[in-house]
């Protein structure tokens, strides 16, 4: 068995007139994520964690924000591309643990849908996908709802006995 561990994080500004997209879901709120893509900080942290585990640099290097190709792109597409790179190298996700830090709105009622999305995109059992949500206790720019942050650790496994 060959194991790898990866870590990813991301932060996006929250501004009016943008959609709030977290884990592939549009969540009703007065502000949304500023970004070249759809600004899905959770998907970006997960994507970076997988790239990190594979030592394949980072999401900004792979999908530059100077490229029109990635303008307003659904971040699920970026995550799928990186999962393809993962599978091409013989790895699959063993388990994934993530945290979203957002002052408002509460994410509790969206967590299961987000876990299902990640499970489907990464072809990983939902029982191996963890998504946690916390506030920033009202402190700083995240506490003021001026930003959203996300963190992810992932373990990849490559089994030479697969299939």
Smallest gap from Cβ 106 to Mg ion, in A, equals: 22
Shortest Å distance, C-beta 35 to Mg ion: 6
Measured from the CB atom, is 99 or 128 closer to Mg ion?
99
Instruction: Enumerate the β-bridge partners of residue 124.
Output: none
Residue nearest to Mg ion (CB): 44
Burial of 25-49, coded b for 16+ CB within 10 Å and e otherwise, reads bebeeebbbebbbbbbbbbbbbbbb
Rounded distance between C-alpha atoms, residue 23 and residue 114, angstroms:
5
Position 63 contacts Mg ion (CB under 5 A): no
Choices 8-16, 79-87, 113-121, 149-157 (CB under 5 A): range interacting with Mg ion: 8-16
Per CB under 5 A, 38 contacts Mg ion:
no
Would you count residue 43 as binding Mg ion (CB under 5 A)?
Answer: no
Q: How far is the CB of 19 from Mg ion (least distance, A)?
A: 14
Secondary structure class of 15 (helix, strand, coil) = strand
Task: Tell me: does residue 44 bind Mg ion (CB under 5 A).
Answer: yes
Binding residues for Mg ion, rule CB under 5 A, total 2
Nearer to Mg ion, 13 or 92 (CB): 13
Query: Within 13 Å, how many C-alpha atoms sit on residue 34's CB side?
Result: 8
Residues 99-118 that bind Mg ion (CB under 5 A): none
Inter-residue contact 36 to 78 (CB < 8 Å):
no
Rounded to whole angstroms, the Cα distance separating 48 from 119 reads 17
């Amino acid at each position: 068995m060959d194991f790898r561990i990866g870590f990813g994080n991301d932060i996006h500004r929250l501004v009016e007139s943008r959609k709030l997209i977290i884990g592939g879901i549009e969540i009703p709120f007065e502000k949304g994520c500023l970004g070249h893509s759809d600004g899905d900080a959770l998907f970006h942290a997960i994507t970076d964690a997988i790239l990190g585990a594979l030592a394949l640099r980072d999401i900004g290097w792979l999908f530059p924000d100077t490229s029109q190709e990635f303008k307003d792109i659904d971040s699920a597409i970026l995550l799928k591309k990186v999962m393809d790179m993962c599978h091409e190298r013989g790895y699959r996700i063993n388990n994934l643990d993530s945290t979203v830090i957002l002052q408002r709105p509460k994410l509790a009622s969206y967590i299961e849908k987000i876990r299902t999305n990640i499970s489907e995109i990464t072809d990983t059992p939902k029982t191996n996908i963890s998504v946690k949500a916390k506030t920033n206790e009202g402190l700083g720019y995240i506490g003021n709802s001026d930003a959203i942050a996300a963190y992810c650790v992932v373990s990849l496994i490559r089994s030479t006995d697969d299939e």
